[in-house]
Amino acid sequence: MQHENQIEVLNDLIRINNDRIEGYKKAAEQLKDERSRLIPLFDQLQTESQTNTTHLKNEVLRLGGDPDQGTTTGGKIYRAWMDVKATFGGDNPESVLMSCEGGEDAAKRAYSSALESGDLGDSLPLVTEQRNAQLQSHDQVKMLRDQYKNS
């Protein structure tokens, strides 16, 4: 297949975004009480990841590939999202945000690896745009984590 490497890189990004979706769902479940002011952020980041996934799947289809439906496996990128409930240690917002930041760090590495791979071809603008949005999301989560840490 002519675009095999490009499709594999895009499928890696689909999986990391699927991990983000699951992670933010679990994060929202942990903070259902009075600290619900974080819920809109988690919903926004879920939506961002769902949009990313849709665009990436369309790109894989355009290239003649089969879009991945799963999440990361074997720690290829990270598995923290799948175990996020155990990691949180309750409904402490700082702990939840620390776990979210860890997930965002992994997503940041995944996007950097994709961009450095040299395999993106004409998908480069899409992935660059998604990476830039993900970096902003990372910084937003980190800022909130710092606010909770210092309060």
Query: What pLDDT does residue 86 have?
Result: 46
Query: What pLDDT does residue 85 have?
Result: 44
Q: What is the tally of helices (H) and strands (E) in the chain?
A: 5, 0
pLDDT digits (tens, 9 = 90+) for 73-111: 543 344 444 354 445 455 678 888 888 888 899 899 999
DSSP 117: T
Q: What is the pTM of this model?
A: 0.86
First to last CA, the chain: 54
pLDDT digits (tens, 9 = 90+) for 35-77: 567 889 999 999 999 999 999 999 999 999 999 887 665 433 4
Residue 88's nearest CA partner among 6, 131, 28, 17 is 28
Tokens matching residue 84: 């996020």
Query: What pLDDT does residue 84 have?
Result: 47
pLDDT at 138 over 80: yes
The CATH superfamily holding the domain 4-149 is Ferritin, core subunit, four-helix bundle (1.20.1260.10)
Would you kindly state where each structural domain of the chain is located, as residue ranges? 4-149
